[in-house]
Amino acid sequence: MQEEDMSRELRLSREVHDVERAAWTTNKTTTGETLSSMAYGVEAVLPVEISILTNRVTRYEEDKNTKGMGLELDLLEERCTNAQLRLAVYHTR
């Protein structure tokens, strides 16, 4: 009986983790942004994306990444403004 309860708790824990990850990486209708992009200014990279060698992963260069992150920070205010505008349009529908 206890093994079944532990197994059930483990499955539930994994499911909650998957749901949280989905919530942080799915675009929201109202803002068009993900929670991670709104909170941290960048999109989240899922572990699946890392294990599958994509062009983005194989061509990674730290210097270019640092410069790109700087540009993203410069554009963050504009992204927030655009998200607020989309939210206002959404509320007027």
- pLDDT tens across 32-66, in order? 777 767 666 666 666 665 556 667 777 888 888 88
Share of the chain above pLDDT 90, in %: 0
Which pLDDT score is estimated for 32? Answer: 72
Please determine, for residue 31, whether its predicted confidence score (pLDDT) is greater than 80.
no
Please determine, for residue 26, whether its predicted confidence score (pLDDT) is greater than 80.
no
Question: Is the four-CA dihedral 46, 51, 56, 61 of positive or negative sign?
Answer: positive
Range of the domain at 81: 2-92
Q: How many domains does the chain have?
A: 1
Question: Is the four-CA dihedral 21, 36, 79, 65 of positive or negative sign?
Answer: negative
Which pLDDT score is estimated for 1? Answer: 56
Which pLDDT score is estimated for 13? Answer: 77
